Structure 1
Amino acid sequence: MTPSPVVKPFPIANAHLGLRHVFLRDLLIVAKVGVYKHEHETAQRVRINLDLAVREGEGPVGDRLDEVVCYEEIRNKVRDVVLDRHVNLVETMAERIAQACLADGRIRSVRVRVEKLDVFDDVSSVGVEIERFSTLG
């Protein structure tokens, strides 16, 4: 028997709630992150994944970019946040990314995963995943 997960993920795409799922997978950025001296001196690779619950509009999508959350704009926001300055913790980086995404009032929730890829030789990645909800109406 398979054990149940401790935390059930928030269902992102949901027709009854009028939500669509927009995502970015495996965004790789060389970032200045970490508390140790060598991490302040040398940037390192991080991988970022995002899941966004986006409020759908009143009517059907008319095949126009202005009717949807543009994943290129989200990507650019994430890059701006990550490349802005050194942060000590991936937790801080994840929180700042979440805040940047939630600045768009159509985004109801965001799940952010930040992974440092080159910390240990015997581990593919270490990191954090958070989920935050919009406080906007």
Structure 2
Amino acid sequence: MAAHPLTNAPNTAPQPTPARVIVTKVFVRGLKVDAWIGVYDHEHGRQQPLVIDVELDVAASHCEALGDTVNYETILQAAQAIAAEGHIDLVETFAERLAQASFADSRVTRARVRVEKPLALAPHAAAAGVEITAVRG
């Protein structure tokens, strides 16, 4: 019988059941992307910086290799692809498209996407934007 590691006494206590991971959260914070975005005339024809946070709930456990989970580089690639598609009027639209792109991986069950426009209310505010939560199904 193995000894208890702290007391060196025989370990007779029942062994705990190993924890089971039920959700893995994959996230990216502070992702910077330049996008053609905005509804006002002065926003058309020029890019503006966006700062994006994404949090994904992933049905994955016991991740030992990159293929076992969602690669967060796909979040960067999706945000860049959406920005490259052309002008978008609303940050809400950008956020929804990014959330939908996240569901391309069938293991993603929930996506929280926050999109900030740092220049929207400058110099009166650090940023303005939107945060959405989308669920699969």
Superposition TM-score tier, normalisation by shorter sequence: 0.7 to 0.9
Residue aligning to 1:7: none
Residue aligning to 1:130: 132
Give the C-alpha shift of residue 84 in structure 1. 1.4
Deviations 1:89-121 (A, max 9, x none): 001111101100012110000000001011221
| Identical counterparts, % of pairs | 38
Residue aligning to 1:23: 27
What is the aligned length? 118
Deviations 1:68-95 (A, max 9, x none): 1101122111211122111000011111
Displaced runs of 4+ in structure 1, greater than 4 A? none
Residue aligning to 1:38: 42
Residue aligning to 1:70: 71
Residue aligning to 1:84: 85
Give the C-alpha shift of residue 30 in structure 1. 1.1
* Pair 1:111-2:112 in alignment: yes
Task: Please identify the structure whose Cα radius of gyration is greater.
Answer: 2
RMSD: 1.5
What secondary structure, in the 3-state scheme, does the structure 2 residue paired with 1:41 have? Answer: coil
State how far apart, in whole Å, the 2-side matches of 1:17 and 1:102 are.
Answer: 20
Amino acid in the other structure paired with 1:111: R
Give the C-alpha shift of residue 16 in structure 1. 6.8
Give the C-alpha shift of residue 22 in structure 1. 0.5
Amino acid in the other structure paired with 2:36: K
What secondary structure, in the 3-state scheme, does the structure 1 residue paired with 2:44 have? Answer: helix
1:56 to 56, 60, 85: 60
State how far apart, in whole Å, the 2-side matches of 1:16 and 1:115 are.
Answer: 35
State how far apart, in whole Å, the 2-side matches of 1:46 and 1:61 are.
Answer: 31
Amino acid in the other structure paired with 2:95: A
State how far apart, in whole Å, the 1-side matches of 2:98 and 2:63 are.
Answer: 27
Q: Which runs of 5+ in 2 are unaligned?
A: 1-18
What is the TM-score with the length of structure 2 in the denominator?
Answer: 0.81
Give the C-alpha shift of residue 17 in structure 1. 7.4
